[in-house]
């Protein structure tokens, strides 16, 4: 039976100076460069009342917390897409992530937590290499967890989402509400919790809603600690993937040569990363798959990974590849997780 989050567990968060010290100096300086406090701005007060009502919180407490939040220019800048085509470059991204020092750190982290990784794989069906890959890509095994106040990051993206890209302020407004709910439940000072520029927290970089819905007390010590307990980090990541449809023993992807016909290729790419074609249908449309891929029973997706001005790379993604993109909606991210975890497994 799948393990559920114990209702009695207490969530522990490291919001002290030590967390800031683990972040890179560049991130720390960005996080400290804040603008004016939101105070009693009309839309912020309205949001506070809405959050309090939705989550059954004390309105004055929510208003006081949001009044402390500050606009952070760096947050608004970092959420913007890259300005040049080279910003979407799978090969360059892979070279930054799957590199010797991160692989060495992953080998050590895997060795230190081998028993927990094995238990998570047994319970949830998620391979150790995938969990290790995610933690390595997200935070370099805790070296870079973010030095922005989560309250500031979420407020900035809720109330002053930058123009020039699709507006996601609604998503961040919902996460701000979940963060206030979480802070109330755990007795946190909302202004003391640190995380990424998007409001993600801890070694697995969970957004507040993911903490509430998927974080678990895997070591049964009565609390959920996504900063200091590797066991809870491992169990929570595996639980997240399992709840999003991870299928044990299923490969994440296969090698593929896309159709030479550009029209067929474009039609296959319409569904993007969502598996929607059988192996036989891909072959019928001109894709080349190896024997293992041709025997695959479930749906596949033709996944395109940009390489700046060079030709794209392609993989045939399975349901499990798609599940990885529920953690971070990027095929580049998903493949980096897979390849980092594979490199670490090989190094062991």
Which residue, 221, 202, 220, is CA-closest to 211? Answer: 202
With vertex at residue 194, the alpha carbon angle to CA 136 and CA 103, rounded to the nearest 5 degrees, is 10
Query: What is the spatial distance between Cα 204 and Cα 232, in angstroms, rounded to a whole number?
Result: 10
Q: Are 68 and 60 in contact (CB under 8 A)?
A: no
Active-site hit among 54, 104, 114, 138: 138
Helices (H), 250-330: 262-269, 279-284, 291-294, 319-327
Strands 223-225 and 10-12: parallel
Query: What is the spatial distance between Cα 55 and Cα 181, in angstroms, rounded to a whole number?
Result: 6
Strands (E) located in 6-142: 10-12
Which residue, 323, 322, 130, is CA-closest to 242? Answer: 323
Q: Which residues contact 70 (CB under 8 A, 6 or more apart)?
A: 34, 35, 36, 37, 38, 149, 152, 155, 156
Query: What is the spatial distance between Cα 289 and Cα 293, in angstroms, rounded to a whole number?
Result: 6
Q: Confirm whether 138 is a catalytic residue.
A: yes
Q: How far is CA 229 from CA 13, 42, 117, 141, 236, in A?
A: 10, 40, 13, 12, 11
User: Residue 314: helix, strand or coil by DSSP?
Assistant: strand
Helix (H) or strand (E) holding 289: strand 288-289
Residues designated catalytic: 138
């Amino acid at each position: 039976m799948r393990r559920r989050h114990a209702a009695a567990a207490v969530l522990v968060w490291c919001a002290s100076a030590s967390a800031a010290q683990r972040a890179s100096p560049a991130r720390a300086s960005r996080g400290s460069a804040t603008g004016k406090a939101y105070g009693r701005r009309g839309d912020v007060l309205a949001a506070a009342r809405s959050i309090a009502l939705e989550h059954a919180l004390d309105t004055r407490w929510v208003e006081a917390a949001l009044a402390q939040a500050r606009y952070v220019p760096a947050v608004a800048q970092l959420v913007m897409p890259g300005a040049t085509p080279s910003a979407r470059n799978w090969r360059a991204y892979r070279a930054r992530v799957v590199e010797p020092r991160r692989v060495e750190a992953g080998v050590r982290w895997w060795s230190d937590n081998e028993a927990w990784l094995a238990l998570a794989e047994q319970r949830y069906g998620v391979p150790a290499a995938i969990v290790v890959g995610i933690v390595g890509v997200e935070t370099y095994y805790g070296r870079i967890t973010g030095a922005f106040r989560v309250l500031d990051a979420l407020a900035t993206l809720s109330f002053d989402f930058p123009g020039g890209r699709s507006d996601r302020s609604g998503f961040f407004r919902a996460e701000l509400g979940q963060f206030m709910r979480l802070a109330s439940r755990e007795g946190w000072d909302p202004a003391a919790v640190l995380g990424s520029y998007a409001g993600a927290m801890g070694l697995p970089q969970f957004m507040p809603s993911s903490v509430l819905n998927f974080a678990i007390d895997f070591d049964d010590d009565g609390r959920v600690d996504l900063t200091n307990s590797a066991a809870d980090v491992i169990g929570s990541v595996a639980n997240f993937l399992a709840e999003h449809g991870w299928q044990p023993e299923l490969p994440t992807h296969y090698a593929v040569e896309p159709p030479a016909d550009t029209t067929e290729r474009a039609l296959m790419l319409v569904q993007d990363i969502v598996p929607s074609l059988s192996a036989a249908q891909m072959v019928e449309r001109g894709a080349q798959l190896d024997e293992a891929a041709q025997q695959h029973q479930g749906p596949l997706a033709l996944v395109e990974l940009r390489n700046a001005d060079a030709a794209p790379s392609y993989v045939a993604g399975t349901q499990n590849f798609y599940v990885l993109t529920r953690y971070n909606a990027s095929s580049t991210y998903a493949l980096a997780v897979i390849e980092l975890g594979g490199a670490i497994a090989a190094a062991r």
